[in-house]
Structure 1
């Protein structure tokens, strides 16, 4: 069974070079993610589908240092013993900043402004055995399995 995305219209799939699916307001030019019907900046309803940049820079980050409570279902967080994971804000130049999981590195390897790229990663397996994937960002040039 082929993997499926965690949500429809969140990122391009299947795709060797996935892109986030956002929107761009036809009135004021503001980008949004995820795609929505209206512009949060000017209120216009003229938001058009737009593929966002695959590359950006690390604006800030933190680590999730304790196991999440239900209803979180991400299997990557279910290791025993628990291993913290990274969450960051990636600035996509000229578009917006997006919150994302960070993978392919340790916290000690992260630096403000470092180049990042969009990747996909396993999130969980559903009750039918279907692998569910999500997006994440990884340092540019990092090996990502």
Structure 2
């Protein structure tokens, strides 16, 4: 996988996000900041939807480096239990099916969905486990 930035995903299969644990307090953040104050830590692959919105306009460039053709996408805050809340895209779910508290699992999506060689960005999709709380 060609990630949009180094140090976002572990090398394991399936990959996990890499957060940072502050050495003095134990507080976890994402992504892992550079320097000696934080140690890298692999984060949970599953979480729950804490909040969300729909990105309905093309973000300003720079910093956005995605495709010129814009299609709205859901943006989520996903709570990884006991760790941190991360911001990422939601995928594989219709806008009207998104609900606070839904069970999610980590995946990745191309920054440019029309380009197979596009860099991959973190995303979450509805969890495949049966009986998950919605």
TM-score, scaled relative to structure 1? 0.76
Tell me whether 1:74 sits opposite 2:72 in the alignment. Answer: no
* Structure 2, unaligned runs of 5 or more: 130-134
- 2:74 aligns with 86
Tell me whether 1:34 sits opposite 2:31 in the alignment. Answer: yes
Kept after mapping to 2: 8 A contact 1:55/1:115: yes
Taking the aligned partners of 1:70 and 1:141, their CA distance within structure 2 comes to 35
- Equivalent positions of 1:1-145 (< 5 A) are 3-13=1-11, 15-37=12-34, 45-71=36-62, 72-75=64-67, 78=69, 82-124=70-112, 130-141=117-128
Query: How far apart are 1:106 and its partner, in Å?
Result: 1.4
Structure with higher Rg: it is: 1
Taking the aligned partners of 1:97 and 1:36, their CA distance within structure 2 comes to 16
Query: How far apart are 1:18 and its partner, in Å?
Result: 1.4
Query: How far apart are 1:107 and its partner, in Å?
Result: 1.5
Taking the aligned partners of 1:53 and 1:121, their CA distance within structure 2 comes to 18
Taking the aligned partners of 1:9 and 1:133, their CA distance within structure 2 comes to 13
Alpha carbons of structure 1 residues 113 and 36: separation in structure 2 relative to 1, 3 Å:
same
Taking the aligned partners of 2:60 and 2:40, their CA distance within structure 1 comes to 34
Taking the aligned partners of 1:95 and 1:74, their CA distance within structure 2 comes to 29
| RMSD between aligned residues | 2.3
How many residue pairs match? The answer is 126
